[in-house]
């Protein structure tokens, strides 16, 4: 009986200790829209591990991949209102909402994800755009340059005529200039759209061939080097304000590093994904001619002008921001 009581007392003390530890720390929720295997969620899990390690567990992160907490289009509002503490948004799903960050989605032919991601981060830090003032930006990154993945071969630009392809943001306008039929929808809805046949392919980065198994239905890949999609990881402002200073410092110190880590991860992963797709499904990869690349470039010029007008309307010094972006791109691609 004595022994039992001692054991019971010890167990209660341990429980109390664990509860106290949990109380001393803060738990935050982190919502993401695509499935767990995809790169936005891989970077989320890496961020969680690093944060919990670097804060010695003072901050714990509960992750919700696959739109289990918030979806692609209610992510921004959901974080602003505190349904989730942290959320990952693809800014191309919010036309007109991010007039500054849209600059990263312009057809300037980024060659690596790492360069595009670091460019986005540096631009944000320098200008602190008004459109992100009501949330805390934890990190920023992009997808890799966008390519066509389709059920029917696109060996030349003429093959695009009337072809319905899923995309978002500026790529939609380029597709219409090429005679294709761009269908705007979030990445997370694309598996169903492909399966139902409402689109015959998509324009995004090659990581999705493996991570969504799109290689199975989209056996034809065409190298177009279209724009990257910008992503922002944002935190509810009141939640951020409530965090202790030492935790804030850990998160601030991680922002740029996380951006670079994600860029490097994706640059490696698109290669691995394409090789996997060749091995698994014998996908074919088509290269366009120089003249065709020139045509794509030509179609991009009015988009840059349109961005300048929209940015100026939002009070952004468009010429300076664009010049800065191109300088950062050159620096990081050197």
For ligand 3IO, which is the closer residue by CB, 78 or 186?
186
Strand 220-226 versus strand 284-287 pairing type: parallel
Q: Under the criterion CB under 6 A, does residue 39 sit at the interface with ligand 3IO?
A: yes
Q: Under the criterion CB under 6 A, does residue 63 sit at the interface with ligand 3IO?
A: no
For ligand 3IO, which is the closer residue by CB, 38 or 55?
38
Q: Coil, helix or strand for 148?
A: strand
CB of 149 to ligand 3IO, least distance (A): 11
Interface of this chain with ligand 3IO, residues 185 to 224, rule: CB under 6 A: 186-187, 204-205, 207-208
Are 118 and 262 in contact by the 8 Å Cβ rule? The answer is: no
Q: Coil, helix or strand for 211?
A: helix
Are 203 and 166 in contact by the 8 Å Cβ rule? The answer is: yes
CB of 143 to ligand 3IO, least distance (A): 4
Rounded to 5 degrees, φ, ψ at 280 are -80, -40
Interacting residue with ligand 3IO among 28, 29, 31, 38 (CB under 6 A): 38
Q: Give the contact letters, 65-104, x = binds to ligand 3IO (CB under 6 A), - = no.
A: -------------------------x-x------------
Q: How far apart are CA 253 and CA 50, in angstroms?
A: 11
CB of 166 to ligand 3IO, least distance (A): 8
CB of 66 to ligand 3IO, least distance (A): 10
- Where residue 218 falls (left for φ over 0; alpha for ψ -120 to 50; beta otherwise) is beta
Are 257 and 51 in contact by the 8 Å Cβ rule? The answer is: no
Are 180 and 222 in contact by the 8 Å Cβ rule? The answer is: no
Binding site for ligand 3IO (CB under 6 A): 34, 38-40, 90, 92, 143, 168, 186-187, 204-205, 207-208, 229
């Amino acid at each position: 009986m004595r022994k039992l009581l001692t054991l019971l007392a010890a167990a209660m003390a341990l429980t109390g200790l664990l509860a106290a530890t949990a109380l001393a720390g803060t738990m935050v929720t982190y919502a993401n829209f695509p499935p767990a295997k995809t790169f936005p969620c891989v970077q989320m899990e890496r961020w969680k591990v690093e944060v919990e390690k670097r804060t010695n567990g003072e901050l714990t992160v509960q992750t919700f991949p696959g739109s289990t907490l918030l979806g692609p289009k209610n992510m921004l509002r959901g974080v602003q209102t505190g349904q989730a503490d942290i959320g990952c948004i693809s800014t191309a799903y919010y036309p007109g909402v991010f007039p500054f960050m849209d600059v990263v989605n312009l057809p300037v032919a980024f060659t690596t994800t790492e360069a595009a991601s670091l460019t986005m981060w540096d631009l944000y830090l320098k200008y602190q755009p008004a459109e992100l003032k009501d949330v805390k930006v934890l990190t920023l990154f992009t997808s890799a340059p966008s390519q066509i993945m389709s059920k029917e071969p696109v060996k030349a630009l003429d093959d695009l005529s009337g072809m319905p392809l899923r995309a978002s943001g500026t790529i939609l306008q380029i597709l219409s200039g090429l005679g294709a039929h761009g269908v705007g929808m979030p990445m997370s809805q694309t598996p169903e759209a492909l399966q139902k046949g409402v689109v015959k392919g998509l324009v995004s980065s090659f990581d999705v061939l493996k991570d969504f198994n799109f290689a199975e239905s989209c056996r034809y890949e065409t190298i177009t080097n279209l724009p990257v999609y910008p992503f922002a990881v944002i935190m509810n402002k009141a939640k951020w304000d409530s965090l202790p200073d030492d935790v804030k410092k850990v998160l601030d110190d991680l922002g740029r590093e996380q951006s670079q880590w994600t860029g490097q991860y994706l640059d490696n992963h698109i290669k691995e994904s394409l090789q996997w797709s060749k091995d698994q499904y014998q996908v074919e990869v088509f290269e366009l001619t120089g003249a065709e690349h020139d045509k794509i470039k030509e179609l991009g010029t009015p988009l840059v002008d349109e961005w300048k007008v929209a940015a100026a309307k939002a009070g952004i010094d468009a010429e300076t921001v664009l010049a800065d972006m191109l300088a950062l791109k050159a620096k990081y691609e050197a």
